[in-house]
Structure 1
Amino acid sequence: MKRVNRDIILLIASMGIFVEALDIAIVNLAIPEIEKDLGLTNHSSYQLQSLYILTYGCFLVLGGKLSDFFGRKKIFLWGTGIFLLTSLGAGLSHTFYSLLTFRILQGLGAALLMPAAFSIVNYYFTEPEERSKAIAVFSSFAAIGSASGLSVGGIITSYLGWSWVFLINVPILVVVMAVIYFILEKDTSVNSGLPDIPSAIVMVLVMLCITWTTDLLSEAAEHYPGILLCITGAAVLTWYLYTRLKTQASPLLSLEVLSLSSLKKGNLLFVLLGALFTGYLFMMSFLVQKNFHFSAASSGFLMMPFNILSVIVARFALPKIVGKISSRHLAVWGNLAMLAGAICLVAAVQYHNLVFLVAGGSFIAGIGMTLCFTGYSVIAMERVPAEHLGVGGSLTTTSYLVGGGLGLPLFAAFMDTTAGVTNSKPVLILLAIALLCIGILKRDDRQSARD
C-alpha cells in the first residue's frame, strides 16, 4: 500500500479514537446544564459518565476479539456506525432515561471502535520504528481528545446547548466511515471458531463486581455485606475465567499473551493513568466552577491553553522525541509533568490562585497525558503478536477505564460536589499516583540494565 494511503489510514483511525476519547471528558462541564434542563439530581447525572465508562470497559475485550475474528475493517465500521447513531440519539433526547440509554449504547460502540482502530494502526505499520511513531500519533489523538474534552464541552454547552456535545460527533464520524470504507483493504477471513462468549460474559461480571465494590467503599460501614459479596464474587468468577481460558481451544484471551511482561506492565500503568486522569477531569470541573466560580463557557476558554499545548506537544514535540528516547523515558517525563501539575493544583487550592490552577492543568492535560498515554501504549504493545493486536489494544484501554472506574469514587470521597475541592487531599492522590508510576518505570529500567 502506498505511503500516502497509510498516512490517511492513520489519520482516520486516529480521528475515530479522538472522538471516543473526547466523549469521555466532554460531558463534564455540560452536566450542570443537563441537570437543569432535565431536572436531574447529582447522582442521576453522575450515571451518565459512570455507566458509559462501565459499558465501554466491560465490552472492550470482546470488541478486540471480534476485531481479530471478523476483521478490523468490519468491526471498525460497525463500532463507528453504532457510535454515530447513538450520538445522534443522545443529542436529540428530551428525557433522562432516553439520554442514559443512548449513552450506554455509545459505550458499546466505543468498545468496538477502539480496538479495531488500534488493530488497524498496528496492521499497516509493521516495522518497529515506524510502528512506534504511528502509535505515538494515534495515542496523541486519544490524549488530545481527553485533554480537550473539558474545554470543548464548556464552550459548546454555553453557545450551542448541551445536545451538541453529542451531535458534534455525527459529521466527523460520517467522514471517518466513508474514508475507511473506500480506502481500507478487504478483511481476510479467519477460520477459527467464534469468540468465547461465556468468557466475555464472566469478564463483564468481574468488572461489575469490582466497580460496585469501589462505589460501596465510600459508605463501607453501611454496605460491608455488599462489599464482601462483591469481592467474593469477583474472586470466584476470576478463578472460573482463568480455568476456562486454560481449557478452551479458542479462548477469549490467550494466557500466553496475558503473561507477556510488557503487556502486564503496560496494563498496570494504564490502570494508574486512568485513575489519575479521570480523577483530574472530575476534580477540575468542580474546581473551576465551584471554587473559582467560572461559568461553563468561561471554564472552557480558561482550559483552552491546555488543548493548544497538548496539540503542540503531539504535533511537533512527539515526532522528534519518539525514536530518540525510549518509551520508558518518555513515560517518566510524562509523569514528571503530572507531578508538577499536581503540586501546582495543591497550591491553587491552598492559596486560591488562578495562575497555579492554569499551570497545573497545563502540566497534566497539556503535557503529561500526551507523553504518558503514548509511552504506555508503546510499552504495552511492543511484544504482542500481530494476530492478537485487537485484544492487546482493548486490554490497555480496559485497564485505563478500570482505573477510571476505581479512581472516580476515590476522588469523590474527598470532595463536596456542592462546594468543590475544599482541601488538598484529592489533589495529593494525583501526586501519589504519579510518584508510583515513576517508581514502576525506574524499577523496570534497573531490571533491563541487569538483563
Structure 2
Amino acid sequence: MLTAVPSMQADLGMPVEVVQGVLTGYALTFGGLMLLGGRVADLLGRRRVFVAGLALFGLSSLVCGLAWTPAVLLAARAVQGLAAAVMAPTALALVMTTFPEGPERNKALAVWGGLGGFGATAGLLIGGLLTASLGWESVFLINVPVVVVLMVLCPLLVRESSDRGSLRNLDVGGALTVTASLVLLVFAIVTAPEAGWGSPRTIGLLIGSAVLLALFVVIETRVASPLVPLRIFRLRTLVGGNVVLLAVGLALDGMLFPLMLYTQQVLGYSPLQAGLTTAVMTVMSILGSFAGQATVTRFGLRPIAVVGTLLIIGGSLLLTGVTVGGGFATHILPAMLIFGAGVGAAFFACQIAALTGVREDESGLAAGLVDTSFHLGNAVGIAISTSVAVSVATAVHLANPAADPLVAQTDGLRTAFAVTVGSASIALIAALTLLPGRTATVVSS
C-alpha cells in the first residue's frame, strides 16, 4: 500500500490531507475494532466470523481497486480496516483453539510469526512491482483472488468453535465504549505529529479516550456477561506479554519509519530498494522466532524475551550512527541482522505469554488484546519518531541555516533511532519484571 501512494495521489488528484486520510482511515477502524472483533468471533463462531471478514476484505479491496474518486477510496479503506480488525484476532484465535498449549502451539505460533514477518516484507516488494508494472489499482485487486481461495479452503481445513452460551447477553455498552475509546486514541496518535502533541485537539481526544475507557471499566464490573471479563487481567503472563508487545511495537515501527526516510530521502533509494533493505530483517525475524520455539522448553519465556529485547536495543544503537554518506553494508545491514533476530524472538515469547492460561471460550478476546497492544505500539512508535525527527531537524536548521539540509535531516533521524532504544529498553524492563522464567503450561507436552 505505501509504495502505491504516490501513483494513487497523482491519478486521483488527491491533496496531502486526503492521502493521510486513506492511511489513517484504515488505521482507525483496524486499531479501534480488533478487540471487539476477537470477542465477536468467540460468540458467533470463529471460523464463521473469519470467513465473513475475508468476504468483506475482498469486497472492500475490489472497491479500492476500482475507486473512481478519493471519497470512494476513503470509504473503502475504512471498510478494509474493519475487515482486517475481524480477521486478525480471529485467525490467531483459530490457531489457539486448533493447537493445545504446549509444544504444538509453540510451533504453530512460530510459523504464525514467521508468516507475518514474511508477509510484511513481501507486501513492500510486491506492492512496488505491481505499482510499477500494472498501476496502483493492482495492489488492491490482487487481494480478491487470494480471498476467494481462502474462503474455499477455510471450511475444509478449519473446525468451527465458539462460546455461544454468552451470546444472549452481548455487552453492547462495553462494546461501544471500548471501541470508541480505541478509535479516539488511535486518531489522536496518528494525527498528533501534524496537529501537535500539545494541541487542544490532541489533548481533547486523549482525554475523551480516557473517559470512555474509565466508563468501559465501570460497565464491565456491572454487567452479567462482560465483553472483557476483568478477571482475565489477573493472568500475570497475559499482562506481561501484552506490555512487552506494546513496547516492541513501539520500537519496531519507531525504527522502520525513520529507516524508510533515511534510505529514500538521504541515500536516494527508490521505494523498491528501500523495501528490499527490510528483507534481511524479515529473514532474521523468522529465524529468531523459530530459535525461540526451539529453546523455550529449555530456557522459558523470560530469557528469550530478554535476549530478544537486548538485540533490538543493539540494532537500534547501530542505527544511531547513520550518516549522510552512509551505505547499506556499513550502516543498515548489521543493524537489520541484529534487530530482526531480536524482534522474532521477543514477539514469539511474548505472544505465548499473552495467550497462556486463557480459556478456549475467550481465545478470541485474548488474541484481540495481543493484536491491539502491538498495533497501538506501532501507531505510537510512528507518531513519536515522526515528531522527534522533524523537531530535531528543524532545530538544527534554525541553529545553522547554511548547513546542508540532509545533515539536519539525518540528525533528526538519528535522534528518532535513539528513541527506539528507549522503547526497546521499556520492553526489556517489562520482560524482566513481568514474564515468567519457566511456565509449565507453556512448555509441557
1:281 counterpart residue number: 256
DSSP 3-state at the match of 1:59: helix
Change (3 A) 1:318 1:30: farther
Give deviations 1:178-204, integer Å, cap 9, x for gaps: 111123334467132252122111112
Match of 1:201 among 166, 171, 176: 176
Match of 1:177 among 148, 151, 157: 151
1:67 counterpart residue number: 41
Give deviations 1:252-304, integer Å, cap 9, x for gaps: 10111133222211221122122222233322222221111111233334443
After TM superposition, give the deviation of residue 63 of structure 1 in Å: 0.8
TM-score by length of 1: 0.84
Gaps of 5+ in 1: 1-26
Cα distance between partner residues in 1 of 2:316 and 2:126: 22
1:301-380 alignment runs, 5 A limit: 301-314=276-289, 317-349=291-323, 352-355=326-329, 356-364=331-339, 366-380=340-354
Cα distance between partner residues in 2 of 1:247 and 1:100: 38
The amino acid of 1:334's aligned partner reads G
2:427 counterpart residue number: 437
Match of 1:403 among 361, 368, 377: 377
After TM superposition, give the deviation of residue 357 of structure 1 in Å: 1.8
**Contact 1:150–1:285 at 8 Å: present in 2 too?**
no
DSSP 3-state at the match of 1:252: coil
The amino acid of 2:123's aligned partner reads G
1:136-155 alignment runs, 5 A limit: 136-155=110-129
DSSP 3-state at the match of 1:185: coil
2:138 counterpart residue number: 164
Give deviations 1:319-364, integer Å, cap 9, x for gaps: 5334333222222222223222212222224652322123323433
Give deviations 1:356-382, integer Å, cap 9, x for gaps: 123323433x42332222111001111
The amino acid of 1:242's aligned partner reads V
Whether 2:28 is the aligned partner of 1:54: answer yes
TM-score by length of 2: 0.85
**Contact 1:210–1:234 at 8 Å: present in 2 too?**
yes
**Contact 2:118–2:282 at 8 Å: present in 1 too?**
yes
Give deviations 1:20-78, integer Å, cap 9, x for gaps: xxxxxxx2233233233333344432333322122111111111111111111101101
2:76 counterpart residue number: 102
Change (3 A) 1:196 1:235: same
Cα distance between partner residues in 2 of 1:328 and 1:255: 25
After TM superposition, give the deviation of residue 311 of structure 1 in Å: 4.5
The amino acid of 2:139's aligned partner reads V
2:210 counterpart residue number: 235
Gaps of 5+ in 2: 394-404, 440-445
Identify the range of structure 1 (91-100 vs 218-227) with the bigger mean alpha-carbon deviation: 218-227
**Contact 2:64–2:77 at 8 Å: present in 1 too?**
yes
The amino acid of 1:225's aligned partner reads P
Match of 1:249 among 224, 228, 238: 224
After TM superposition, give the deviation of residue 83 of structure 1 in Å: 1.3
1:300 counterpart residue number: 275
**Contact 1:79–1:112 at 8 Å: present in 2 too?**
yes
Cα distance between partner residues in 1 of 2:336 and 2:114: 17
Paired positions, count: 421
After TM superposition, give the deviation of residue 421 of structure 1 in Å: 4.6
The amino acid of 2:415's aligned partner reads K
Identify the range of structure 1 (155-164 vs 55-64) with the bigger mean alpha-carbon deviation: 155-164
Percent sequence identity is 26
DSSP 3-state at the match of 1:250: coil
